[in-house]
Amino acid sequence: MSGFFVVFEGGDGVGKTTQIELLARALRAGGREVVETREPGGTELGRELRQAIMHGGHVAPRAEALLYAADRAHHIATKVRPALERGAAVVQDRYIDSSVVYQGGARGLGDEVARVSEWATEGLVPDLTVLLDMESVPERLARELDRVERETGGDRALIRESFLALASREPERYAVVDASQSVDDVAADVRVAVDSALTKVGLAGLPAAHAGVEPWGTP
Ligand code: TYD
């Protein structure tokens, strides 16, 4: 596969959406096709599953894990792999680590959750996982929580530790970025990590940022 697969992980409210947009813009400036996507909900079927998982009534924990895995299986097979095969960069909001942390850890389902997702994706591993790490999410980001956030997000410290533990197992494939910095400083750290990961897989790095005001250019 000639494309580049980068995933953003982290707790709720750490700024994944903003950073994904900024990175996508920088990759596009280098002339690449970029696919911005997310789990759950990156496909039409995925949007239905997202609705069922996050905004419906009670879902048994194992059913919840399988619904995330079903979303993932369809998303990877029909959207992500085809994009990587035609050489695109895929910038994705959440992947297997979220299942390991929320269903495996917070829901207590354990390591089998990772194996279910590996089966679902036929073992697709990101070139780089950016973990946006933040000790606590500012009050201003507090908002209406979905069911999964309400039920599993309570122990933010545990969720943070679980993500950090996954990153420390494979430091060469992860970039842990301090998400409590300003948006521009987080973006600069992400950029350095992506640039080095692109080079590592033999692709051209990101175009040089212009010195001064807006490193990402005008939207
Ligand atoms: P996300 O799309 O990041 O939520 P939002 O856009 O509202 O910030 O994630 C959706 C929720 O689903 C979030 O609470 C984390 C949870 N989640 C899991 O529990 N397991 C998974 O495998 C994934 C992908 C997400």
Q: Give the pLDDT score at 193.
A: 98
CA distance linking residue 159 with residue 11, whole number of Å: 7
Q: What SS3 state is found at 45?
A: helix
In a domain, 208, yes or no: no
In a domain, 211, yes or no: no
Distance 40 CA to ligand 1 centre (A): 7
Q: Which residues of the chain have pLDDT under 50?
A: 140, 211-213, 216-219
Q: Give the pLDDT score at 138.
A: 60
Specify the DSSP element, H or E, that contains 37.
Answer: strand 34-38
What residue's CA is closest to ligand 1, atom 8?
12
In a domain, 56, yes or no: yes
In a domain, 60, yes or no: yes
Flag whether the pTM goes above 0.85. Answer: yes
Read off the pLDDT of residues 196-219 as tens digits, 9 standing for 90 and up: 999 999 999 998 875 444 554 444
In a domain, 12, yes or no: yes
What residue's CA is closest to ligand 1, atom 13?
149
Specify the DSSP element, H or E, that contains 24.
Answer: helix 16-29
Q: Give the pLDDT score at 21.
A: 98
DSSP conformational letter for 100: I
What residue's CA is closest to ligand 1, atom 20?
99
Range of the domain at 78: 4-200
Quick check: 80 and 90 in contact, CB under 8 A?
yes
In a domain, 207, yes or no: no
* CATH number of the CATH domain containing 55: 3.40.50.300
Backbone angles phi, psi at 73, to 5 degrees: -60, -45
Ligand 1 binding site (Cβ under 6 Å of any ligand atom): 12, 38-40, 54, 68, 93-94, 98-99, 102-103, 146, 148-149
Residue written as tokens 């590996």? 118
Q: Based on the structure, what is the number of domains in the chain?
A: 1
In a domain, 176, yes or no: yes
Q: Give the pLDDT score at 142.
A: 54
- In SS3 terms, 51-94 reads as HHHHHCCCCCHHHHHHHHHHHHHHHHHHHHHHHHHCCCEEEEEC
Q: Give the pLDDT score at 218.
A: 47
In a domain, 62, yes or no: yes
- Contacts of 83 by beta carbon, 8 Å cutoff, 6+ apart: 3, 33, 35, 90
